[in-house]
Chains A and B, each alone.
Chain A
Amino acid sequence: MNKVHELICIVCPKGCHLQVDDDLNVTGHGCPRGIIYGKAELLNPTRLVSSTAKLISSDLSRLPVVTSGEVPKGKIFEVMNVINGLTVSAPVALRQVLVKDVLGLGVDIIATRSVKR
């Protein structure tokens, strides 16, 4: 029985309502990215992880960070553990790589602001 799954695309703020069946046929998308998302969400849902890291600086005590790409949904909390274990010292450049290839997932943890001191 080919089930049709109702999903909301999260790629952009439009939030198109997708229908994806078990054969990974996608309808309801507003752009090609929606097709990719619909398939991925069924097979291997992934997410960006954004958080803050401990920062040694005279200006701020936390540095906003994000993963450079999406990670499997099931690994979010493990990635959070890595982020929680970081202590970054100023100066920091925007997009500076803080952890390369986190947990072997093929994405980095990067700074999303620069900190001068």
Chain B
Amino acid sequence: MHDIVILGAGVIGAFIARELSRFQLDILVLDQENDVGNFTSMANSALIHSGYDPEPGTLKALLNVRGNAMYDTVCDELDVTFRRIGSLTVTTKEEELSVLKQLQERGRRNGVETFIISAEEIRQKEPQLAHDVKYALYAPSAGIIDPFELVVNCMENAIDNGVKLSLNEKVTAIKPIDGGYQVTTSKDVHHGKIIINATGVNADLVSEMVAPNKFSIKPRKGSYFVFDHFDNNFLKHIIFPVPDERGKGIVVTSSYSYNYLVGPNSNYIDDREDLGTDRDTMEFIKQSALRLVPKLPFDKVIRTFSGLRATPNTGDFIIEPLTDHPCFINVAGIESPGLASAPAIGVYVVNQYVSKLIELRPKVDFNPRIRPLYRFSHMSEKAINDLIKKDKRFGHLVCRCEMVSEGHIIDALSRSCPPHSIKAVKKRTRAGFGRCQGGFCQPLVLKILADHYGVNEQDVLYDAESTFILAEATKGGGAHE
């Protein structure tokens, strides 16, 4: 019987796991995907919101602001790329100045400092904005982050500190038993004294396995364009339109990797697995973005994708145990500002609930830091060459577009939350994220994965189980050593 079983290894499950790994507890994390952070956590705007937007008094407001403040330390400890570039919520309409003032007041009540600036200062800060932008709300504490690194490194740290992770386990049934719960998955049966449900878009369905719900989750889709690198200084802040009842609106921003990101729209859907994009939506997003940033070079788009938000019908985060089930804690409806709130949610869940259910004895050897990554862009030529002398695979570049070496991939494979697929390698190293989208590097990464795991090349996966890249060997196979 584990002390804690966490369902879901997205950004929320990862931070809860890490927070709990400070203590002497037996912790297991389960996820249905073939990698951590493989659903909502990897398909979002990658923004750490400042926190002026949530309604004061809500959990969203409380945890967004707390979480935002934690990110400098978190990203230092977990070696995650994070840049606090600030956001501008802009309007072209004179009458919307009052909306910006309301947002500012909301921010003030949430403890977030913002400034209202007008056309001339906006134009100085961001010359690429449409010339009829009249006012903007400037929130300096907003930032952009590498959401893939964040979840992987957070989980790696949790695992380094004793947490166990099991992937490809979809929860099918949960039964209360003496002293805890029995969790049945597509692969195995597990037992835990305390269950923490962080299963994203499916959280209501999972919670219902234990007892009828008071909440429901509806998937809300948002699509995005990703642009190639073209000019690191094209935009220096996150650009928001004025929010409406549907949400924060279509953002235009530089990303952590100096790509540009445009999106998301907001569209309720029924299918909890539908990550498709459609023509009309993409056109709508494009026109909305061009309205604010007229010179966005849409001929430089290299990718489109969609993500699903886990939108609760309660209007706020749901972080509480089920009625009559104090040891089954729901952490559900974590839509925006979920990413910004994640570290604070981890602490909140532990302090508010887990600490009252089980004794928390700190681990003496808890280490909040992961072994740093090798970042060529931050290393001197001498440092890189010293590294190559130690392991010459760092000299063999595999991904031309993003300058990723064989050594980086081997390093990712050597860590405690390693990649098991082409996509997982991409998320950790950026190999395949560039303009050619894996056209050159994919065969090389495939071979590295096959060699490392001792499997045939035909068994290497693109992402989930059975998504093989290669169908069969020609000539009846053979002559493939």
B279 within 8 Å of A by Cβ? no
Annotate A85-100 by CB proximity to B: 1 below 8 A, 0 otherwise: 0110000000000000
Q: CA of A4 to CA of B226 in the docked complex: distance in angstroms?
A: 54
Q: Which of B475, B480, B481 has the most CB of A within 10 A?
A: B475
Determine whether the beta carbon of B480 is less than 8 Å from that of A61: yes
B98 within 8 Å of A by Cβ? no
Q: CA of A62 to CA of B474 in the docked complex: distance in angstroms?
A: 9
Q: Which of B458-481 contact A (CB under 8 A)?
A: 474-476, 478-481
Annotate A43-55 by CB proximity to B: 1 below 8 A, 0 otherwise: 0000000001111
Closest B residue, CB atoms, query A57: B479
Q: Which of A48-102 contact B (CB under 8 A)?
A: 52-57, 61-62, 84, 86-87
Give the contact-size bracket for chain A: 10 to 19
Closest A residue, CB atoms, query B478: A54
Determine whether the beta carbon of A87 is less than 8 Å from that of B478: yes
The minimal Cβ–Cβ distance linking B457 to chain A, given in whole angstroms, is 10
Determine whether the beta carbon of B479 is less than 8 Å from that of A62: yes
Could you say which residues of chain B place their CB within 8 Å of the CB of A62?
474-475, 479
Determine whether the beta carbon of A61 is less than 8 Å from that of B479: yes
Secondary structure at the A interface, as helix, strand, loop or mixed, is strand
Could you say which residues of chain B place their CB within 8 Å of the CB of A56?
479
Closest A residue, CB atoms, query B477: A54
Could you say which residues of chain A place their CB within 8 Å of the CB of B478?
54, 87
Could you say which residues of chain B place their CB within 8 Å of the CB of A84?
474-476
Q: CA of A6 to CA of B45 in the docked complex: distance in angstroms?
A: 56
Could you say which residues of chain A place their CB within 8 Å of the CB of B479?
54-57, 61-62, 87
The minimal Cβ–Cβ distance linking A38 to chain B, given in whole angstroms, is 35
Q: CA of A112 to CA of B125 in the docked complex: distance in angstroms?
A: 60
The minimal Cβ–Cβ distance linking A84 to chain B, given in whole angstroms, is 5
Q: CA of A56 to CA of B475 in the docked complex: distance in angstroms?
A: 13
The minimal Cβ–Cβ distance linking A99 to chain B, given in whole angstroms, is 14
Could you say which residues of chain A place their CB within 8 Å of the CB of B480?
61
Could you say which residues of chain A place their CB within 8 Å of the CB of B474?
52, 62, 84
Could you say which residues of chain A place their CB within 8 Å of the CB of B476?
84
Q: CA of A115 to CA of B188 in the docked complex: distance in angstroms?
A: 50
The minimal Cβ–Cβ distance linking A85 to chain B, given in whole angstroms, is 8
Q: CA of A26 to CA of B60 in the docked complex: distance in angstroms?
A: 80
Closest A residue, CB atoms, query B457: A61
Closest A residue, CB atoms, query B476: A84
Could you say which residues of chain B place their CB within 8 Å of the CB of A52?
474-475
The minimal Cβ–Cβ distance linking A24 to chain B, given in whole angstroms, is 39
Q: CA of A53 to CA of B474 in the docked complex: distance in angstroms?
A: 9
The minimal Cβ–Cβ distance linking A5 to chain B, given in whole angstroms, is 35
Closest B residue, CB atoms, query A53: B475
Q: CA of A54 to CA of B480 in the docked complex: distance in angstroms?
A: 9
Q: CA of A78 to CA of B481 in the docked complex: distance in angstroms?
A: 28
Q: Which of B87-137 contact A (CB under 8 A)?
A: none
14 A-B pairs in the complex with CB atoms less than 8 angstroms apart: A52-B474, A52-B475, A54-B475, A54-B479, A57-B479, A61-B480, A62-B474, A62-B475, A84-B474, A84-B475, A84-B476, A86-B475, A87-B478, A87-B479
Starting from the known contacts A53-B475, A54-B475, 19 additional A-B residue pairs (CB-CB under 8 Å) come to A52-B474, A52-B475, A54-B478, A54-B479, A55-B479, A56-B479, A57-B479, A61-B479, A61-B480, A61-B481, A62-B474, A62-B475, A62-B479, A84-B474, A84-B475, A84-B476, A86-B475, A87-B478, A87-B479
| Contact surface of A with B, Cβ cutoff 8 Å | 52-57, 61-62, 84, 86-87
